[in-house]
Structures are given as structure tokens and as C-alpha cells.
Amino acid sequence: MTRVVDGELLQDAARRAHRYLADLGNRSVAPAAGAVAGLEQLGGVLPEDGLAPSKVLALLDDAGSPATIASAGGRYFGFVTGGVLPAALAAGWLGSAWDQNAFSTMTSPAGAAIEPIALGWLKEVLALPHECAGAFVTGATMANFTALAAARHGVLARAGWDVDADGLFGAPPVTVVVGEEVHASLFKVIALLGLGRERVVSVPADAQGRMRVDALPALTGPTIICAQAGNVNSGAFDPIADICDRAHADGAWVHVDGAFGLWAAAAPAYAGLVNGVQAADSWATDAHKWLNVSYDSGIALVRDAASLRAAMSMSAAYLPTGETREPFHYTPDSSRRARGIEIWAALLSLGRRGLADLVAGNCAMASRIAQALRDAGHQVLNEVVLNQVLVSFGDGDTTNRVVAALQEEGTCWCGPTVWKGRAAMRVSVSSWATTDEDVADSIGAILKVAAEITGSRN
Ligand SMILES: Cc1ncc(COP(=O)(O)O)c(C=O)c1O
């Protein structure tokens, strides 16, 4: 008889997970220092004889759960982090039990079949061209990597060079253009692709962080322009339609990093922000941000499927061939978990209207937070066009002290950042779990902490 996992163990895991999630609203968002110190209990000498699985789980819960940051709850506003939707969480559990290798149709018919379904829905809600090919990866960094590998292939192929066969040695130089406010992870990606983080051409940005089209240099030779839909600080969008007009006239490839901003397309009231984004050549986005699936999950989309295939494909005698979409031809990884499952489940459980409400609701909450802070006399540094709010509480030292005290106070969690040379607190509202009450409680906590800190300075 095949060995079967003890049902009581799985039920215990479900009970513990449920208790954890149900308690999130009653605990400090940041873990207590004592709880973090308690993580030591997870270490020690690896025992000769293993512990019973129920005891392993109990230790993880007892020592680990209190030391987590409550990012699955409704009052975590750090790093553009989504929570995890019920259907995505539950489907993810079932998917873990399936333990599928989404490498190919052979290793996982279900894992492979779910990807094109989810991709089709994604293209619909993100209003991207139906001919795009796509890849399910760990996050926006790898999605940018995957799409830019396709871009590198595409622009060099047009110059008569097969970069995937011959590498970059002796290749025509590729110019990579970024906006001054490009996300830091893009430099890692550019370095990984051998395009040289110090070689990029940086285009000045305006006061909201949008690339200035009038400052684009003359584009000659193989060129990739990395535009941005949603600046991680201000939420602002590059003028992608204008960038595409300029770039395409000169034969350049336009890639859009839309880690969270692309989701504006799903909410009619915000879809205007992504006007023209369909004209680009490739896109990267996260599912673990605004789609609210659990970590880790990102998606790369590329209009020219052949370029993505050329950059990612592999062949070996034992691999399937034919017309069917084989996931391994589209991703940098080979064996990998079936990430499409949670994306599929999240989209199906939300429907178009649920997704629109999620995005628009979070944006309205961000506006409400910004207004409350302004009303209290604090300075909001950005135009709040989406879900990001940047606040200053005075000089840099005061602002940083407010952020640290707020994290310590525990009602909510916002992170520090620097915007146009000024220290700021960044509030990102991107969770399905955030309620109006969470917003009210968080505003109350921010104002109370800010009054204590700024008051103590007067
Ligand atoms: C605009 C942008 N690009 C890329 C990233 C990197 O995303 P990830 O950490 O999911 O790889 C982020 C993360 O916040 C982002 O906001």
C-alpha cells in the first residue's frame, strides 16, 4: 500500500493556519523582539532520529508564527505587498499536495494546462495583446529578466546576431535605456543579462518620477527601452504611448516593468493610467502583489512569442515536442512548482468585477490615508494617482523617527524611503484583507505617533 500523509496532521496544519490568520487583526503587525529572539528554538543540533511530523509542525507554529510580520493581514502597508486570497491559499495547499512539476505536459498535465488558461485571463484583465506569450516565474525581478532576455534576443536578431547561440562576445552593442526612477531590481536584471548596469542610458524623470520623453536620446542600433507602469514610490506611470511612438519609429524594443501598476488596467476608473501600454513589446508584473496570491509569483509577457521561445527554449531527446505549449520553453527554470494554480484560482474567485473592486478599493483607501494626513498638516509628497502615498513629517530625522515609532507601536506597518532626496514614509495599499476599519485604525495610529514625535521636538 502506498504511504499516505496522516489526515490529522493536515487538519492540524489547517487549524493552526486558520488560527494564525484569524489572530492577525489582534496582534502587532511587526513581531515582538522576544518572538524574533525565540526563532532560536528552530535551530540546534539536527537530531539523529527525526521528530514526529506533528511535533515539527507544532514547533514551527509555536516559534515561527509569532515571529512573522503580519503581511497577510489588513494593516501591512510595506513594499507593495498583497495578502493571500482565500481561493489562492486553499488552491495553493491542494497544489502543494499535488506536488506537480510544471516543467512540461508530461510531468504535469494539470500544471501545464492551467498556465495557458490563466495567461488568457491575465491578458484580458491587463488589456494586453492576445498574441503575447507568457511565463510564470517567481516575481517581477525574474519576469523582467525573462522578458528582457526575449528583448535582447529580438533586437540582436534584427541586427543579424543570434545572441542565444553566440553570446554577447563580438555582438553589436545593445543600448539599454531606463528612466531615472527605474526600480533598483532592473539593474540586477541588466547585469545578469550581460548588458552591464553601468552602461545604461538614464533618462531624466519629472517631479512624479515619470520618464521625460523629450529627454530621450537619439536611438540608434539595437536598443531596449525599459519603461515603468507604477513607480514603486509615487505610483506614477511613464508616458508609455509616447515612448512607444518614439521607440518604434527607431526600431527599439519597449519593455514595461509593471510590477503592480499594470493591474490598474483591471479597474475602469484607473485604466486610463495604462493607456498605450498595449503598444509595448514586453511586460513584467507580479501576482504576489496586487493579485494577492502567496509568494512567490510573477508573470512575463512578450508580444513576439518567437523571441521568448528563442531566449528560453531547450531541447533534449527525452523532452516532448509538438504543437502543445510546453512551459519549459518559456521560463528560465526547468523543474518548478505549478505557480499558475494560485493565479488561476485568484482570478476565478474574483472575477473581473472582484478584481476591479480590489484595485479600485485599495486606491480609494490610499487617497483616504493621504487626505487624512494632509488634513492633519503633514506633507504628502506625491500625487496620489494609485495606491502609493509618500509622506513627510518634517525633516529627514523626524520622518525616520515617526516610521520607526509607528512600526514599534504595531497597529500598522509602513516603510521608510527616500523620494527626490527627501526621507519619506511610504504607504502601499495592496491587500484584499484591508478593510475601512483597518484604514481608520491605521490613520489614527499614524497621527498619534506623529504627534508624539513632532510634539517631542517642539
Ligand atoms: C516597479 C517594480 N519593479 C520590480 C519590483 C521587484 O519585484 P519582486 O520583488 O517581486 O521581484 C518591484 C517591487 O516592489 C517594483 O515595485
Domain positions in the chain are 91-346
- Measured CA to CA, the distance from residue 382 to residue 83 in angstroms comes to 25
User: Is the Cβ–Cβ distance between 225 and 154 less than 8 Å?
Assistant: no
Query: Measured in angstroms, how far is the CA atom of residue 232 from the centroid of ligand 1?
Result: 8
Distance 172 CA to ligand 1 centre (A): 30
* CATH class of the domain whose range is 91-346: alpha beta
Q: Which three cell numbers stand for residue 247?
A: 521607440
Closest residue by Cα to atom 13, ligand 1, is 259
CA nearest neighbour of 186 among 236, 256, 91: 256
Distance 313 CA to ligand 1 centre (A): 25
How far from chain centre, in Å, is Cα 398?
30
Q: Which atom of ligand 1 is closest in space to residue 260's alpha carbon?
A: 16
Is the beta carbon of 185 within 6 A of some atom in ligand 1? yes
What is d(CA 136, CA 119) in angstroms, rounded to the nearest whole number?
9
What pLDDT does residue 457 have? 44
Q: Ligand 1 atom 12: the closest Cα is on which residue? A: 259
SS3 for 157?
helix
Cβ contact 164:311 at 8 Å: yes
- Residue 303: phi and psi, rounded to 5, are -65, -45
Q: Which segments of the chain have a pLDDT < 50?
A: 457-458
The Å distance, Cα 48 to ligand 1 centre, comes to 42
Beta strand 253-257 pairing with 422-428: unpaired
Q: Is 80 in the pocket of ligand 1 (CB under 6 A)?
A: yes
Residue 123: closest CA among 114, 133, 110:
133
Q: In this structure, what C-alpha cell is assigned to residue 324?
A: 502543445
Q: Is the omega angle on the peptide bond into residue 296 within 30 degrees of 0, that is, cis?
A: yes
Q: Which residue out of 141, 192, 273 has the highest number of ligand 1 atoms within 8 Å of its CB and is therefore the one to mutate?
A: 141
The DSSP H or E segment spanning 243 is: helix 240-249
Q: Determine the Cα–Cα distance for residues 59 and 13; give it in Å rounded to an integer.
A: 12
Select from 143, 121, 142, 139 the least CA-distant residue to 130. 121
Task: Please state, in angstroms and rounded to a whole number, the distance separating the CA atoms of residues 60 and 401.
Answer: 33
Other C-beta atoms lying within 10 Å of the C-beta of residue 169: 7
Q: Three cell numbers at 62?
A: 509555536
Cα 242 from chain centroid (whole Å): 25
How far apart CA 438 and CA 87 sit, in angstroms, is: 22
Least Cα distance to 46 among 37, 56, 38 occurs for: 56
Any atom of ligand 1 within 6 Å of the Cβ of 359: no
Phi-psi region of 421 (alpha: psi -120 to 50; beta: other; left: phi over 0): left
Q: Which pLDDT value is given to residue 72?
A: 98
DSSP 308-365: HHHHH----TTS--SSSPPGGGTSS-SS---THHHHHHHHHHHHHHHHHHHHHHHHHH
Query: How far is the C-alpha of 36 from the C-alpha of 430, rounded, in Å?
Result: 26
CA dihedral over 13, 296, 351, 21, signed as positive or negative: positive
Q: How many CA atoms lie within 13 A of 288 on its CB side?
A: 19
The grid cell for 126 is: 491587463
CA of 183 to the centre of ligand 1 (A): 7
To test the ligand 1 pocket, which listed residue (185, 256, 263) has its Cβ within 8 A of the most ligand atoms? Answer: 185
**Residue 270 · residue 244 · CB < 8 Å:** no
CA angle 251, 254, 260 (to 5 degrees): 175
Cβ–Cβ < 8 Å for 418, 412: no
Specify the ligand 1 atom closest to the Cα of 231: 1
Phi-psi category of residue 101: left, alpha or beta, with phi > 0 → left and psi -120 to 50 → alpha: beta
User: Would you state the pLDDT for residue 245?
Assistant: 97
For position 50, what pLDDT does the model report? 97
Nearest C-alpha neighbor of 102 from the set 332, 343, 327? 327
Q: How far is the CA of 235 from the centre of ligand 1 (A)?
A: 12
- Give CA separation, 170 vs 145, 200, 264, 395, in Å: 22, 19, 41, 51
Ligand 1 centroid distance, CA of 353 (Å): 25
DSSP helix/strand/coil, 110: helix
